[in-house]
Amino acid sequence: MASRSSGEEPSSLLMEGNAVQVSVDAKLTVATGRGNCQQLKDLLSTEDSKTMLVVMAPIIQASTVKPLPEVMNPLLLSSACSGAWQALEFLLNRGHGQPHPSMNSSTKFHDLLTAYGSHSCSDKGTSMEKASDDVEALLNLPSASTFSLLDGVTIEGGNALHVVATYGESDGFLRSADIIHSKANHLLFARNNNGDTPLHCAARAGMSRMVSHLITLARDENTGVSRVKELLETENCLKETALHQAVRIGNNDIVKLLMEENSELASFPKDGTSPLYLAILLEEDIIVETLYNASHMKLSYSGKNGQNALHAAVLRGTVCSYPSAEKGNRQTHLNLSNNRGQTPLDISPYKVPPGLFDDQNSEAKIHFALTVVNARSGGCRRDHFEENYTRQLKYDESEQLEKMKESTQTLCIGVALIATATFTVTFALPGGYKADEHINGGTPTLAGRYAFDAFIIASTFSFVLSAMAMVGLMYSGYSILNPQTRRIYMIAALYFGSTSGTCFLATFMLGLYMVLARVAHKSAIAICVISPLAVICKQIDLWLKWALLAQPLCTRIGLTRTLVMVTTRILFSLFMEFWPIIFIFVWATYTSNQF
């Protein structure tokens, strides 16, 4: 600060020891050091009343100031970004006794600078605009060692090896990594502002060759000292290793590479988000299998907020993820709770949609599996849990009714077609009718045969069940009924419509068999074998999901109980689908024995 007066005397600058005195009409005295404070006091006592202002500025101890890191040289950064190992080697080998670089070298660096100005790594350090336009000036480095040049960092705090590991894995980048490591091998373990090592950067960028090369450098065969385990297990600020980075970008090749070097790497961190939890959360099922198989049971299941890998599998609602997390393994505790006191059994209902839903959905299957293996709820009060569950699901009655309306329209078309086709074929029987002049004239020609009786019953079931489905769909769309009643009609109509389709296929199969059996028996048999495939096709999803659940269920409740449960469920579903077919052939056998 300074004050001005209206006097005409010119100002003067007085120096007293380490104190600086500026003399004007209103005098200003400034202390430049802590030891000058007493001098200022003595000076003030001897001055006249015109001394208006005293400013004391004690210096801060140099030991308390953390020096700012040196910004990476733009030529070094440009060479590292482009993988120009020759330019990098020239910079790092340029010592005290070496001659000044030739103009050809300057031209090469000028080209590098031009590329650096438009390179994608321009945000990594000082931009070209901030650098000197004189390339020779940039090359005219001070008499510093190679190590001081490599001490420069980018704005993220990364060194030259971080840059090389991030931007490529061609031979030039690998050679650049060798050159940097030979000059300063400690940079392999150096961390940037995020705590990432060069290995983190290479894994995050998907550079599998660079990852392998950095591991080789850590092995350091020249000295015989291997620091590979230390490098692989190094965690960044988020407590993540390079394996986490590979999992996050979904690169299974790098995951395999890292796990082959250290089979216990999936157990890090000891307290935090494990690679397995992250892989399940990101739905990387192939990586989940790799982690499990390569870890030899030495892997962590922990996740964030007190969750574990099974929580993640339930949250993602995929049956494929559940066996992958469980496969492992009875060591996974099903009753561990997260920070909210919720166990996997508590979380699983959140993924089951409210209102109308197919009970064969993966979310429902996971909840069923947890119940079967005797998983327990957490310590939270049940009434509070139910209240929170209802609030989070946000059941919307109008939305459910709209969903029911759309489903009704779709199903109506299907059952109407089945009913129409069945009605038509019933009065246009295969084989025709007997002439009026014959005995029993006007009756079906093929009447009395086993196949004919089965055909008639199949067509009857097909028409009646489709008609029942149509009635159910009519009432499910009847707006004056309460929603619960409409849902009941909807579910019944869905079942009757599905079963009528099975009977319609039986009608088609038996009709062709009747007219072809005596003249083309093999073709008739082939038709009977092929026709049920359409019905079996509807059951594939059900069977597949039960097959995927069989392995974790077997791990938890044993082989015998699992076989009984799975077999019972599959047989029951088949019976509910094919019971009309069973009745059709039993009835045909009964009527044929009456003659």
Q: Give tens-digit pLDDT for 2-22.
A: 334 444 444 333 334 444 444
Return the percentage of the chain with pLDDT > 70, whole number: 71
Q: Are 351 and 315 in contact (CB under 8 A)?
A: yes
| Domain assignment of residue 30, yes or no | yes
Q: Are 455 and 510 in contact (CB under 8 A)?
A: yes
Cα-Cα-Cα-Cα torsion 370, 373, 379, 383, nearest 10 degrees, comes to 60
Report pLDDT for 332: 64
Tokens of 544: 């597949």
Read off the DSSP letter of residue 433: B
Report pLDDT for 354: 67
pLDDT, tens digit (0-9, with 9 covering 90-100), for 318-347: 544 444 444 465 656 777 777 677 788 877
Out of 338-347, 385-394, 484-493, pick the least confident: 385-394
Report pLDDT for 569: 86
Beta sheet of 51-56, edge-to-edge order: 12-16, 19-23, 27-31, 51-56
Q: Are 138 and 74 in contact (CB under 8 A)?
A: yes
| Domain assignment of residue 29, yes or no | yes
Out of 16-20, 346-350, 501-505, pick the least confident: 16-20
Tokens of 489: 């009609």
Report pLDDT for 449: 83
Report pLDDT for 428: 80
Q: Quick check: 487 pLDDT over 90?
A: no
Question: Distance between CA atoms of 152 and 201, rounded to whole angstroms?
Answer: 18
Tokens of 494: 């869905």
Total domains in the fold of the chain: 2
Confidence of residue 548 (pLDDT cuts 50, 70, 90): confident
Report pLDDT for 51: 45
Beta carbons within 8 Å of 62's beta carbon, 6+ residues apart: none
Tokens of 111: 């080209």
Report pLDDT for 460: 92
The residue with tokens 């070094």 is: 76
Report pLDDT for 44: 55
Average per-residue pLDDT in the chain?
77
Q: Which residues pair with 22 in a beta bridge?
A: 13, 28
Tokens of 208: 């599998």
Rounded to two decimals, the pTM is 0.53
**Which residue blocks in 262-320 are alpha helix, DSSP H?**
275-281, 285-295, 309-316
Question: Distance between CA atoms of 275 and 273, rounded to whole angstroms?
Answer: 7
Report pLDDT for 26: 46
Domain with 490, as residue range(s), is 400-540
Query: Domain end: 493, 509, 540, which one?
Result: 540
Query: Domain end: 520, 540, 560, which one?
Result: 540
The burial of 365, by beta-carbon neighbours within 10 Å (0-12 exposed, 13-18 middle, 19 or more buried), is given as buried
The residue with tokens 């329209």 is: 409
Out of 17-26, 259-268, 282-291, 535-544, pick the least confident: 17-26
Confidence of residue 288 (pLDDT cuts 50, 70, 90): very high
Report pLDDT for 504: 93
| Domain assignment of residue 73, yes or no | no
Q: Looking at residues 218-227, what average pLDDT do you find?
A: 80
| Domain assignment of residue 523, yes or no | yes
Q: Quick check: 394 pLDDT over 70?
A: no
The residue with tokens 């307290």 is: 271
Identify which has the larger pLDDT, 499 or 12: 499
Confidence of residue 135 (pLDDT cuts 50, 70, 90): very low
Q: Are 330 and 555 in contact (CB under 8 A)?
A: yes
| Domain assignment of residue 500, yes or no | yes
pLDDT, tens digit (0-9, with 9 covering 90-100), for 149-208: 898 999 999 999 999 999 999 999 999 999 999 999 999 999 999 999 999 999 999 999
Report pLDDT for 381: 64
Query: Domain end: 512, 540, 568, which one?
Result: 540
Confidence of residue 388 (pLDDT cuts 50, 70, 90): low
Report pLDDT for 384: 65
**Number of separate helices (H) and strands (E) present in the chain:** 27, 4
Report pLDDT for 200: 97
Q: Are 88 and 76 in contact (CB under 8 A)?
A: yes
If phi over 0 gives left and psi between -120 and 50 gives alpha, with beta otherwise, what is residue 286? alpha
| Domain assignment of residue 319, yes or no | no
Total residue length of the chain: 595
Question: Distance between CA atoms of 256 and 244, rounded to whole angstroms?
Answer: 12
Read off the DSSP letter of residue 373: T
| Domain assignment of residue 227, yes or no | no
pLDDT, tens digit (0-9, with 9 covering 90-100), for 357-371: 677 777 788 888 888
Confidence of residue 386 (pLDDT cuts 50, 70, 90): low
| Domain assignment of residue 450, yes or no | yes
Tokens of 43: 């000076």
